[in-house]
Amino acid sequence: MKSNIVISIKDSGSVCTFSLKNGIISEIVSGGCDPAYICKRAGAVLTGTTDEILASVEAAFNRDQCTVEDDLYRADLVEQFAAEIVEAGNGLPYVGDLVYSQETNMVYRLATCSRVQVNSNGKGNSVEGSLIEAGSPDDYSESAFADIIDCRVEILEQDESETDDE
């Protein structure tokens, strides 16, 4: 079973993206939805062991659509990429921040942070975490793209057990 999942919930007027890691919901991008409320209304049980919570959330959101009161919510599991992000003298990104990878020519949003490494001798500090796709540079205006954190992003190879849905 995965130790971390990222879910994007969409309704008629908003999108909320959040991660669930070790039973803790962390909002990545707020769009006006309360992820804990939507999970409960979709039938996801948020108590028990980590495996039980993750199984419940995955089961609730693997259905095609979830109805909450009068609004229609669609929830999608979001593909994640393990990555190492090295700062370029401008600080490390936080969960929810956008980063650009020259290697893939894609913009990603930092979904989770699992390890921060303080490096010495002129090497930038680094963080390991998971990223979700946030589009290509062409999807952003010139000024918006300039606000994306400048750092080195290296997508890490994932072993087969982390990418399979169990």
Q: What are the tens digits of pLDDT across the range 40-96?
A: 777 777 777 767 776 777 777 665 445 545 455 666 778 888 999 988 777 888 888
The two counts, helices (H) then strands (E), for the chain are 4, 10
Residue 161 lies in a domain: no
Residue 98: both structure tokens together: 């956008």
Residue 64 lies in a domain: yes
Last residue of a domain, one of 12, 46, 77: 77
Amino acid at 95: V
DSSP state of 136: -
Residue 40 lies in a domain: yes
Pick the closest to residue 8 from 23, 19, 92 (CA basis): 19
Residue 148 structural domain: 81-156
Tally of domains within the chain: 2
Query: Is residue 109 within 8 Å of 132, Cβ to Cβ?
Result: yes
* CA 148 – CA 111 distance, rounded (Å): 15
| 90, 124: one domain | yes
